[in-house]
Structure 1
Amino acid sequence: MLTGRRYRLGLTSEQAEMVEEFGGICRSVWNTALEQRREYRRRGAWMNYVPQAAELADAKREHEWLRAAPSHVLQQTLKDLDKACRTHGTFKVRWRSKARWNPSFRFPAGNLITVERLNRRWGRAKLPKLGWVAFRWTRPLGGEIRSATVSRKTGHWYISFLVEDGVVTPGHHAGTPVGIDRGVVVAATTSTGCFHDRDFVTSGEKARCRRLQRRLARSEKGSANRRRTLVAMNRIVGRITDRRTDFTAWTANRLATRHSVVVLEDLRTKNMTASAKGTQAEPGRNVRQKAGLNRAILDKGWHRMERAIRNAARWTGTEVVLVNPAYTSQTCNRCGSVDAKNRKSQAVFVCTSCGHRDHADVNAAKNILSAAGHAVPACGDLAVGRSVKQEPAAPRGVPRQLAFEPVGISRL
């Protein structure tokens, strides 16, 4: 099984200049090769990796600045471009902007990469033309190295090793199936009544980000003040992204460890978060409301959660199933009645036919599980173990009719 290991680099000033230069050369090669491919497509022809690699070798003889970067790195850039064009189409592949693209480049495996551990906290890797680069040893590699990628994020440089750890996906999982409902208030709600959510940004970070956005709007393009503002904003966004990544990985690990089947809605997140602005001839409606919904969906990381569950399932043998999301939030899990009035609010579900009461997200998660062929009877028995209560138990002194309200959110 192939897996990644990322470590923070401790570069010298000379090495920092070199990796910046390597990243800039790879960006130029990407953009030049992409323009060549687009020109060929306009003529009705096709350009692939082999002729471009040959032309790159000729270009290195004419342009000395291309020889500053290792040839393997430039070849990997052309291979990445070839894969992107075949997957998405030549005219849908994006340019790599100097202002918006974080530089990165990859070294293939073989005799090019050597890794040593220096002490408890530090290790070092020998890379072509860079020599020995130090990195923080936060965990062992755990396998044979296939490649090493150097990248920059929020002002720091990292090295990611792709290793083959020799682990085989188990063929059987002894856990129970579970349905997951992803929402904008609670990130993930399970059919067993568990709520997984956390805040990714603090109130202080929100206020500082607003101040930086106002400062950015007043700054002149290309100025040093604008660059400093962007760096400060990227640091805040980087911390938020790291928290979201940690939360999704943590939640996915628990779900994959405990359950043999994880059922999710087949959501097209990219389409759901498209702008409603429209065109000048046909302007959209409720643009501000749609923009707020888009931000809420992206903040909860719906697609990131699905990817994290699929990644964790490789180690546990958990099966990930996608079902049609239509009417899962309006259907009563007890009697099957479909009515938009069943959902009284974001959290309250009361069936207009049978009077069944439940938390709206838990009811939707049960419907998602049932849509995959795993029945959830009224008693809550999943037909694979002991029965569980259908509704969370109400605390002492709380009336039973309020028991459908959420009793807790995990991982706060």
Structure 2
Amino acid sequence: MRTPSFGAGRAVAPHDVVYVSLLCEDGEHTPAEHAAPDSAVGVDRGVAVAAATSDGDLFDRTFRTPKEHERERRLRRKLSRQRKGSNNRARTRAALSRLTGRVRARRADFAARTAHTLCAKNAVVVLERLNTTNMTASARGTADAPGRNVRQKAGLNRAILAQGWQGFKLACQNAARRTGTRVIEVDPAYTSQTCHPCGEVDPRSRESQASFRCTSCGHTAHADVNAAQNTLSRGWTSSLSG
């Protein structure tokens, strides 16, 4: 049987999987104005909670169960011991792909549902401008200049990637096209260290990933909710100046 070939690329074997992306008009148009034009919300994407809003709502979901986490660890260990090109290795890769595919599907479903909820209720959704590529870069360093706290940074990187911050942003932008919502991104600097009521900036106020207690006025709140309120305030400032 002749092996099919696509364009100038490599030949595609009969057992290869080929993905085709199609773009078509769905007949829907972005509304000229949101149903609630005066509504706005700030959103903080976190590690302890996937998304927290300035209204105090916490959106979260378990994307990978403990059993799935353990199974993935075993499959990856098994894969590292198997000979490349072997049938056993192919079966292990297929099992790993099915497992990670389920996790990705849950993450995408969570992002789409949450984004729809936020955009349906609010004319403006304010997000932090996050560069996840730089944020999840390795801290290993080089032989001449080794990094510090490499294991801790690697754990944080995995937690950030597991929450799907970039996918959530894209989901909000996609949902906004159907509701007429504006999605604004603002500078995230010090939003997690700033007390929303009094404006005091102190890293000690962020007691943990989930707890915020202002060292100046004593204000207590969920750390991500406090950050989301600061994000919303910057969004209003950005809208007025823009």
TM-score normalized with structure 2 length: 0.90
Native 8 Å contact 1:321 1:372 kept in 2? yes
Q: Report whether the alignment pairs 1:29 with 2:26.
A: no
CA distance in 2, matches of 1:197, 1:374: 28
Aligned pair partner of 2:157 in 284, 288, 294: 294
Aligned pair partner of 1:167 in 25, 28, 31: 28
1:342 Cα offset (Å): 1.5
Amino acid at match of 2:137: A
- Runs of 4+ in structure 1 over 3 Å off: none
Q: Secondary structure at the match of 1:216?
A: helix
Native 8 Å contact 2:47 2:209 kept in 1? no
Partner residue in 2 for 1:237 = 100
Q: Report whether the alignment pairs 1:264 with 2:127.
A: yes
CA distance in 2, matches of 1:197, 1:206: 18
1:283 Cα offset (Å): 2.2
Q: Secondary structure at the match of 1:29?
A: coil
Number of aligned residue pairs: give it.
Answer: 235
1:245-264 pair list within 5 angstroms: 245-264=108-127
Amino acid at match of 2:28: V
Q: Secondary structure at the match of 1:232?
A: helix
- Structure 1 gaps of 5+ residues are 1-16, 32-64, 67-97, 106-148, 150-160, 376-412
Q: Report whether the alignment pairs 1:104 with 2:23.
A: no
Native 8 Å contact 1:177 1:374 kept in 2? no
Partner residue in 2 for 1:324 = 187
Q: Secondary structure at the match of 1:372?
A: helix
Q: Secondary structure at the match of 1:373?
A: helix
Q: Secondary structure at the match of 2:44?
A: strand
Partner residue in 2 for 1:215 = 78
Amino acid at match of 1:104: Y
- Higher strand fraction: Structure 1 or Structure 2? 1
1:203 Cα offset (Å): 2.0
- 1:105-127: CA deviations, max 9, x gaps? 4xxxxxxxxxxxxxxxxxxxxxx
1:313 Cα offset (Å): 0.3
| Cα RMSD after superposing both structures | 2.4
Q: Report whether the alignment pairs 1:203 with 2:182.
A: no
Amino acid at match of 2:133: K
Q: Report whether the alignment pairs 1:278 with 2:161.
A: no
TM-score normalized with structure 1 length: 0.54
Greater relative contact order (CA < 8 Å, ≥ 6 in sequence): 2
1:59-70 pair list within 5 angstroms: none
Q: Secondary structure at the match of 1:104?
A: coil
Structure 1 pair 328–102 and aligned structure 2 pair: CA distance change class (3 A) = farther
- Structure 2 gaps of 5+ residues are none
Aligned pair partner of 2:208 in 338, 345, 350: 345
Amino acid at match of 2:9: W
CA radius of gyration, larger in: 1
Native 8 Å contact 2:48 2:210 kept in 1? no
1:191 Cα offset (Å): 0.2
CA distance in 2, matches of 1:291, 1:103: 33
1:286 Cα offset (Å): 1.6
Amino acid at match of 1:172: E
1:10-409 pair list within 5 angstroms: 21-22=3-4, 25-26=5-6, 29-30=8-9, 103-105=18-20, 149=21, 161-175=22-36, 176-373=39-236
Amino acid at match of 1:192: D
Native 8 Å contact 2:56 2:225 kept in 1? yes
1:281 Cα offset (Å): 2.7
CA distance in 1, matches of 2:106, 2:74: 22
CA distance in 1, matches of 2:205, 2:73: 39
CA distance in 2, matches of 1:342, 1:201: 31
- 1:310-342: CA deviations, max 9, x gaps? 000000000000100000011111111111121
CA distance in 2, matches of 1:168, 1:201: 36
1:232 Cα offset (Å): 0.6
Q: Secondary structure at the match of 2:146?
A: coil
Partner residue in 2 for 1:69 = none
- 1:333-389: CA deviations, max 9, x gaps? 1111111121222222121222212111111100000011269xxxxxxxxxxxxxx
1:104 Cα offset (Å): 2.6
